[in-house]
Amino acid sequence: MGQIDSVNQIHTHCLVRGLPISFESSLKERIPIIPINLKLAKKQHEAYIDILNSLIPNLIKVEEDEMHPDSCFIEDTAIIVGDIAVISLLGAIQRRGEEVLVREAIQKAGIQRIYGIKHPGILDGGDVLFTGKDLLVGLSKRTNYEAVLQLRDIFNGSLKVFSIPVIEGLHLKSVISTFDSRILILGACQAGAYIADEIQKQSELKDNYSLIFVPDPVASNVLRIGTTLIMQEGFPMSEKVLQDLCDERGVKLIKLNMSELIKADGALTCCSILFQI
């Protein structure tokens, strides 16, 4: 297999999944003070899908799954890099089964090299950050080192797979995401500082990336699609940092209110799987 080069990857396809009526029963690290407003959650999720549909040529919507309240967080079920898809063995037992229809959709989209994480490995896609050059994999409550070893075998040297402990929060991407293949956005919090320190400790990583911190951890999860950056609305200090960065780089910034999905530990990258065919 040749070296994967996705430094300037253009997304041609996007997988999303409908938000189920059972979403109010989704897993949560903390019970929100104000319960999830299901009607508003659906409206926000639909607005998210509309934006992706306007930016990506092929949007594929997987059928809603009422048996799995978290199933709209489709990112956790699979990762796709180049012509390879890896189906997760989800860390939360209650969520296993979400991946079945996602695997079918990936195959129908035209990706034939499909692998699966096997026990004793566990993996949530929210712990996997593809920077365009490397895979950074968070070791969290939902992802273990056995999964990292399996990913290294699957990609077989075509790209490097690095493990990074997640000391708080649900997933690695709860506090880090990519602006582009060289700039990483992190939350200015203990978990973000720890991840930054881990990156600096690994010689193969520290010289390859610039790190930019935003004051609000939830705003560190951004979604870059071509010349557009999507961020969470309602975080003005973080918006200033990201707006300045976008202005410097000629990128359009879009703000999207996802308040009800935040209550279920959801972030912008959680609700889609972006890839290129």
pTM: 0.95
Q: Could you tell me if residue 6 is inside a domain? A: no
Taking the CB of residue 71, how many other CB atoms lie within 10 A of it? 27
pLDDT of residue 9: 60
pLDDT of residue 7: 38
β-strands 113-116, 84-87 pairing:
parallel
Q: Give the range of the structural domain holding residue 153, as residue numbers without chain letter.
A: 13-275
CB of 222 closer than 8 Å to CB of 246: no
Q: pLDDT tens, 175-186?
A: 999 999 999 999
pLDDT of residue 203: 84
Q: Could you tell me if residue 3 is inside a domain? A: no
Give every residue of the chain whose pLDDT is below 70, as ranges: 1-9
Q: Could you tell me if residue 4 is inside a domain? A: no
Q: Could you tell me if residue 149 is inside a domain? A: yes
Q: Could you tell me if residue 8 is inside a domain? A: no
The residue from 14, 72, 189, 270 that is catalytic is 270
CA distances from 71 to 67, 132, 175, 229 (A): 9, 26, 21, 24
The residue from 45, 171, 246, 271 that is catalytic is 171
Q: Mean pLDDT, the chain, as a whole number?
A: 95
CB of 243 closer than 8 Å to CB of 223: no
Active site residue 14: no
Q: Could you tell me if residue 55 is inside a domain? A: yes
> CATH number of the domain that 262 lies in?
3.75.10.10
Number of structural domains found in the chain: 1
Closest among 275, 221, 273, 260 to 19, alpha carbons compared: 260
Active site residue 171: yes
Q: Could you tell me if residue 7 is inside a domain? A: no
pLDDT of residue 10: 83
